[in-house]
Amino acid sequence: MTNKATILIIDDEEGIRDSCSQVLNQEGYLVNIADNGKTGWEHFKKSPTDVVLLDLKLPGLNGMEVLEKIKKMSPDSPVIIITGFATIESAVNTMKRGAFDYLAKPFSSQELRVIVKKALDSRKTQETSLTPGLKTARDDNFTMVKGKSKSMAKVLDIVKRVSPTESTVLITGESGTGKELLAAEIHNHSPRKNAPFVVVDCGALVETLFESELFGHVKGSFTGASMTKHGRFEVADGGTIFLDEISNISLNIQAKLLRAIQEREVTRIGSTKPITVDIRILAATHENLADCVRKGKFREDLFYRLSVVPIHIPPLRERKEDIPLLLNHFLLKHSKKSGMKLKIPSPKATKALLEHEWPGNIRELENTVERAMVLCQKDRIELEDLFYHGISLRPSFLQPAEEGYKSLKEIEKEYIKIVLQSQYGNRTKTAKILSIDRKTLLSKIKKYNLS
């Protein structure tokens, strides 16, 4: 870190101000405090901080007014709302008016640290996306790098046309191709851009928790439901909900989701009162959803509801002409993020980057660049900095070893290892890339002692 991040805490409760500044000071941030809305706003106006922690209930100028002023002057500054349980409803409202997130009292120091870090990271992404040297790579205020391929130009053309509408969009593409980023682009180019963009990872939770995550629950509706919870649909009200990895949801939840989409209303678990929500729906999957329908794993009616406008992001290996601009983008992004001098890859390293098949797509390219910048001891990124795990330097493992040619078995073992590492040990993804089923992969991992 070159510069210390600055944080402004606006809260009339001395206890909160003190405990938050203590935690944030320990994290190495520069903390300023204000005990009322007016002083807080004046402080921000004079010297805008990287993040603002803002209490909603304040004497004089209230939190909502302060939020509006901050957002008007500096729309990209993340503001985190601090709120008591009684006012969670209004905290959700503040997110519609541009608040970054909220912390409900009482919160732990860990929660505080995580949320502030997230807010700071969001700023960094915004900042790098404004790097002037990269203007050529993007147009129309897209955060995504467009590259030179015709296929991505087509994709972004559809994005431009579909964003201002209310249409439901189904984004497909291999892992790491940029599905989530594309969904965010659609939201950010839509009339809903100032309202929340809520991401739901459909594979992350067990069924019962997932249902409550989506639709909420009322106090006492099941063991552990000690208070009423707003579902993600409610939080997204006025904005966009992004259902990521949609193929993972169970048939039972699919039925409930279909209803929510058709009626635009949700019912919290344990309640009978439906709540109307105004939302735009985007979904994504790396699977072939039509196939899932054929196999009976996914409802056909829900499939049609979701895929009103289908957008497919092609894998990076099919649009290698996009690599140079992406490479520039990530080199700049990560040198800025780490506060390190920009390092350029050597000609050999560049050639390898341009030729690599990128099974993990753009995420793999980005991770490779980030890791190389950290590992690289010299001014230039060399070949060995790029693929330090031995990731897919194709020739090196196919070339005859000193003791002669390798057997097919040895090559199979080596190759599985490489793909497995490129997928950070994810077996499902590895099996998919290798076009074998998971069971076969597991038995090979065992046979070759690879885990």
Ligand X SMILES: Nc1ncnc2c1ncn2[C@@H]1O[C@H](COP(=O)(O)OP(=O)(O)OP(=O)(O)O)[C@@H](O)[C@H]1O
Selected range binding ligand X among 170-178, 247-255, 256-264, 404-412, rule: CB under 6 A: 170-178
Using the rule CB under 6 A, give the single segment among 4-12, 43-51, 172-180, 234-242 that binds ligand X: 172-180
- Where in 258-317 is the site for ligand X (CB under 6 A)? 286
Interface pick for ligand X out of 181, 258, 434, 445 (rule CB under 6 A): 181
Beta-bridge mates of residue 82 = 55, 103
Shortest distance (Å) from residue 199 CB to Mg ion: 9
- Are 146 and 59 in contact by the 8 Å Cβ rule? The answer is no
User: Is-contact 400 406, C-beta < 8 A?
Assistant: yes
Structure tokens at 421: 């590492």
Task: Return the residue of 80, 115, 119, 144 that touches ligand X, per CB under 6 A.
Answer: 144
Residue 140, number of CB atoms within 10 A of its CB: 11
Minimum Å gap between C-beta 81 and ligand X is 26
Burial 45-70 (b: 16+ CB within 10 A, else e): eeeebbbbbbbbbbeebebbebbebb
Which whole-number Å values give the CA distances from 366 to 174, 181, 325, 363, in the listed order?
Answer: 15, 14, 12, 5
User: Per CB under 6 A, which region of 3-11, 63-71, 177-185, 303-311 contacts ligand X?
Assistant: 177-185
Closer Cβ to ligand X, 176 or 238, answer by number: 176
Residue 207 CB-density burial (10 A; 0-12 exposed, 13-18 middle, 19+ buried) = exposed
C-beta of 181 vs 393, nearer to Mg ion: 181
Query: Quick one: which of 54, 82, 145, 266 contacts ligand X (CB under 6 A)?
Result: 145
Q: DSSP string covering 221-253, please?
A: SSTT--S-EE-HHHHTTTSEEEEETGGGS-HHH
Q: Is 423 in the site for ligand X (CB under 6 A)?
A: no
Q: Which residues bind Mg ion (CB under 5 A)?
A: 180
Reduce the DSSP state of residue 24 to 3 states and report it: helix
CA distance 404 to 336: 46
Among 432, 407, 408, smallest CA distance to 420 is for 432
101 or 370: whose CB is closer to ligand X? Answer: 370
Contact between residue 35 and residue 12 where contact means Cβ atoms under 8 Å apart? yes
230 binds, among Mg ion, ligand X, none (CB under 5 to 8 A by kind): none
Q: Which is nearer to Mg ion, 413 or 429 (CB)?
A: 429
Pick from 77, 87, 168, 175 the residue near ligand X by CB under 6 A.
175
Q: Select the binding partner of residue 163 from Mg ion, ligand X, none (C-beta < 5 to 8 A, by kind).
A: none
- H or E element, residue 8: strand 6-10
Are 206 and 249 a contacting pair, CB within 8 Å?
no
Q: How far is the CB of 348 from ligand X (least distance, A)?
A: 24
Minimum gap (Å) between residue 193 Cβ and ligand X = 18
> Shortest approach of ligand X to residue 263 CB, angstroms?
28
Nearest to 349 by CA among 327, 366, 364, 330: 327
Is residue 430 within the footprint of ligand X (CB under 6 A)?
A: no
Who's near 111: CB < 8 A, 6+ residues apart? 103
Closest distance of CB 180 from Mg ion, Å: 4
Considering CB distances under 5 to 8 angstroms, the limit depending on partner class, which of ligand X, Mg ion, none binds residue 51?
A: none
Min. distance of Cβ 171 from Mg ion in angstroms?
9
144 binds, among Mg ion, ligand X, none (CB under 5 to 8 A by kind): ligand X
CB of 129 to ligand X, least distance (A): 9
List the single partner that 104 binds among ligand X, Mg ion, none, CB under 5 to 8 Å by kind: none
User: Which residues in this chain contact ligand X in the complex, by CB under 6 A?
Assistant: 144-145, 173, 175-181, 286, 326, 329, 362-363, 366
